[in-house]
Amino acid sequence: MNIELLQTDTLTQAREKLYKETKNFELKIHRVACEEALGCICAKDVIAEENVPPFRRSTVDGYAIIAGDSYGAGDSNPAFYQVTGHVNIEEQALMTVDSGEAVQVQTGSMVPDGATAVLMLEYTEQYADGKIIGYKAVSEDENIIQIGEDMAVGDCLIQRGREINAKDVGMMAALGICDIEVYVPPVVTIISTGDELADIGEPLTASKIRDINSYALTAEARRMGMTVRRRLLVRDDEKEILQAVSRSTKDSDIVLLSGGSSKGNKDYTKKVLEELTGNVFTHGIAIKPGKPTILAYDRENCTVIAGLPGHPMAAMLMFRLVVIHWYCEKSGLQMPLPYMARISENVSSNQGRETCLPVQLVRRADGLIAKPIHAKSGSIRALGRADGYVRIPRNQEGLNKGALVWVEVL
Ligand SMILES: Nc1nc2c(c(=O)[nH]1)N[C@H]1C(S)=C(S)[C@@H](COP(=O)(O)OP(=O)(O)OC[C@H]3O[C@@H](n4cnc5c(N)ncnc54)[C@H](O)[C@@H]3O)O[C@H]1N2
Ligand code: MOO
């Protein structure tokens, strides 16, 4: 029997091909209100058009003075000031402060011209009508926040690619930015293929197993902020798969298939994708798990199609390592930073294929420990127990116990 072996790309090659093939693919952009922006991905740098604060503000309750007037002042050598006014928090400071003078201010009040510092209330005492004593020296600018010190006109405050968080929403409010340009979440269709698959509510009959991938991939896509248009469970039937993909490429930016990606007699994914797109550019990636991954691009509908391996761990990892990685490149989104940990035991790896080793993270007094999860490629439990994975390069023999590794969080 002549079985054609998969011609594998490295992960880097597969990513580069996908990026090159999808040059004309552009994520759509829309505006959302500040209150709705949480979790969206910023599509254009947000530049401050106002100074924050817009005027000099006191950071304490006290007296605005000329700092030089306080030099040398202390408990046994107080300085004397003539109080010439008071600025309430909502008032504009219309007066100026001259040498020997003090204007009373509140936390957040505008600091009058001429004043170069604010002396805190607790270091002062009423002396006589209209006069105070100061028991402390203050330096230039002490207790004053300058115009634009927090955010200045022209500062880039939210960068393209950033996932907007609550603090960013606060910054937008501070700058009077009512809405922001963000990427429209890509629309995804997820198709599980397999005659052996039963849907979640169906009774399990002999030789059936439950469909995990369409649920897990849907949840992962949603976690990434994507919109899941539909989730389908399709038999190992070429025509059925073709119909499902063909209908989905018309209204989805991304179509994920799972199962049927290798070379078995019922593995139709590649054939169907060839027929529909004429543009399958990867079949096989030198990575474990995840080798039988297929990548295609439908140029007409601008749809990225990934045929993921059936094994759930492999499907999840390849969704992340290829498709989500591509989405991050397109949008500028950064994945969470990896954790550094020490590997708990010697690990051998498959030379010639990069290894993605699922690990559990355990916190110890001296740092994090990454415990490899030993399980067969199709293990479901491994998927649930893994906090993350360690990537071992294809040309590396393995890892020695205690080696420092980066753990990408799952
Ligand atoms: N002779 C060879 N056999 C296999 C090879 C190989 O190189 N030579 N590679 C193995 C690897 S690695 C993987 S991964 C799988 C990939 O196969 P397919 O992508 O064609 O997937 P299936 O054969 O359809 O399924 C594999 C496995 O996963 C189960 N599965 C499929 N879909 C789901 C789902 N939605 N939820 C839960 N489980 C699912 C399926 O029942 C199979 O057990 O091929 C190996 N074989
Ligand atoms: O490479 Mo397979 O994808 O081990 O599960």
CATH of the domain at 256: 3.40.980.10
Q: Which atom of ligand 2 is nearest to the CA of 290?
A: 3
Residue closest via CA to ligand 2's atom 2 equals 289
Is 377 within 8 Å of 317 (Cβ atoms)? no
Q: Which CATH number belongs to the domain containing residue 73 in this structure? A: 2.170.190.11
pLDDT of res. 213:
96
Residue closest via CA to ligand 2's atom 3 equals 290
Over its length of 410 residues, how does the chain's per-residue pLDDT go in tens digits?
Answer: 444 566 799 999 999 999 999 999 999 999 999 999 999 999 999 999 999 999 999 999 999 999 999 999 999 999 999 999 999 999 999 999 999 999 999 999 999 999 999 999 999 999 988 999 999 999 999 999 999 999 999 999 999 999 999 999 999 999 999 999 999 999 999 999 999 999 999 999 989 999 999 999 999 999 999 999 999 999 999 999 999 999 999 999 999 999 999 878 888 999 999 999 999 999 999 999 999 999 999 999 999 999 999 999 999 999 999 999 999 999 999 999 999 999 999 999 877 899 999 999 999 999 999 999 988 878 888 888 999 999 999 989 899 999 999 999 98
Q: Give a yes or no: residue 175 inside a domain.
A: yes
Compute, in angstroms, the gap from residue 259 CA to the centroid of ligand 1.
6
* Residue 317 sits in the same domain as residue 204: yes
Q: Give a yes or no: residue 151 inside a domain.
A: no
Greatest distance between any 2 Cα atoms in the chain: 108
Q: Which atom of ligand 2 is nearest to the CA of 288?
A: 1
Q: Give a yes or no: residue 405 inside a domain.
A: yes
Q: Which CATH number belongs to the domain containing residue 161 in this structure? A: 3.90.105.10
The DSSP call for residue 266 is T
User: Residue 354: CB within 6 Å of ligand 1?
Assistant: no
As a whole number of angstroms, the distance between CA 329 and CA 300 comes to: 22
pLDDT of res. 5:
61
Compute, in angstroms, the gap from residue 299 CA to the centroid of ligand 1.
28
Q: Is the dihedral of CA 373, 374, 376, 379 positive or negative?
A: negative
User: Rounded to two decimals, what is the model's pTM?
Assistant: 0.90
* Residue 306 sits in the same domain as residue 237: yes
As a whole number of angstroms, the distance between CA 314 and CA 213 comes to: 10
* Residue 268 sits in the same domain as residue 166: no
As a whole number of angstroms, the distance between CA 197 and CA 301 comes to: 29
User: Residue 288: CB within 6 Å of ligand 2?
Assistant: yes
As a whole number of angstroms, the distance between CA 201 and CA 358 comes to: 29
* Residue 137 sits in the same domain as residue 178: no
Q: Which atom of ligand 2 is nearest to the CA of 309?
A: 3
Q: Give a yes or no: residue 150 inside a domain.
A: no
Count of CB atoms situated within 10 Å of the CB of 123: 19
Q: Which CATH number belongs to the domain containing residue 360 in this structure? A: 2.40.340.10
User: Residue 353: CB within 6 Å of ligand 2?
Assistant: no
Q: Give a yes or no: residue 383 inside a domain.
A: yes
Domain boundary residue, one of 280, 313, 331: 331
Q: To test ligand 1's pocket by mutation, which of 262, 321, 354 has the most ligand atoms within 8 angstroms of CB?
A: 262
* Residue 366 sits in the same domain as residue 389: yes
| Structural domains counted in the chain | 4
Q: Which atom of ligand 1 is nearest to the CA of 236?
A: 24
Q: To test ligand 2's pocket by mutation, which of 288, 374, 380 has the most ligand atoms within 8 angstroms of CB?
A: 288
pLDDT of res. 307:
98
* Residue 240 sits in the same domain as residue 294: yes
Domain boundary residue, one of 284, 301, 331: 331
As a whole number of angstroms, the distance between CA 196 and CA 205 comes to: 10
* Residue 284 sits in the same domain as residue 367: no
pLDDT of res. 141:
97
Q: Which residue range is the domain that position 45 belongs to?
A: 29-51+156-183
* Residue 381 sits in the same domain as residue 395: yes
* Residue 207 sits in the same domain as residue 305: yes
Q: To test ligand 2's pocket by mutation, which of 291, 322, 376, 383 has the most ligand atoms within 8 angstroms of CB?
A: 291
Q: Which atom of ligand 2 is nearest to the CA of 287?
A: 1
Q: Which atom of ligand 1 is nearest to the CA of 311?
A: 28
pLDDT of res. 263:
79
Q: Give a yes or no: residue 87 inside a domain.
A: yes
The DSSP call for residue 184 is P
Q: Which atom of ligand 1 is nearest to the CA of 3?
A: 1
User: Residue 377: CB within 6 Å of ligand 1?
Assistant: yes
User: Residue 236: CB within 6 Å of ligand 1?
Assistant: no
Is 14 within 8 Å of 295 (Cβ atoms)? yes
Residue closest via CA to ligand 1's atom 30 equals 310
Domain boundary residue, one of 119, 145, 171: 145
* Residue 248 sits in the same domain as residue 355: no
* Residue 385 sits in the same domain as residue 266: no
Q: Give a yes or no: residue 251 inside a domain.
A: yes
Q: To test ligand 2's pocket by mutation, which of 5, 8, 377 has the most ligand atoms within 8 angstroms of CB?
A: 377
* Residue 93 sits in the same domain as residue 15: no
